[in-house]
Structure 1
């Protein structure tokens, strides 16, 4: 009898497991609020550029960013599992 991934002695281990998977999710889980990034999404060669990281919710995989536009700041919510790459800006 084997245990499934994420189980310890047949009991679901929720203490040390993140729900969201992938490199971008791991980076966002540790990223400091206010960090500027460019976000690359699948199928696009042009990133969402100059986004300010606001928050990451590991329960929903939602990453929250603010983008400054001529009309004022806009909130962008992206599923971290859909992010192909992050570029960290100075």
Structure 2
């Protein structure tokens, strides 16, 4: 019986140590540098944790907010020349 309790205790400790705090999409958008690092870490490990999903969404939204808008007047001038 003692062995079972020791085993369960050790498994519980290892399970809790491996957990990381899940951060929201908004948190990742506010900390863009950390989000870039975390996304590359997620790609390396192949993890699909909630944190990895949140960081992917945050980086996508950040890229959409900071996308370069095309200058159609300049493009038309290039075509006319």
**Category of TM-score, reference length = shorter chain:** under 0.3
* Pair member with larger Rg: 2
TM-score normalised by the chain length of structure 1: 0.25
The structure with more helix, counted as a fraction of residues? 2
TM-score normalised by the chain length of structure 2: 0.27
The structure with more strand, counted as a fraction of residues? 1
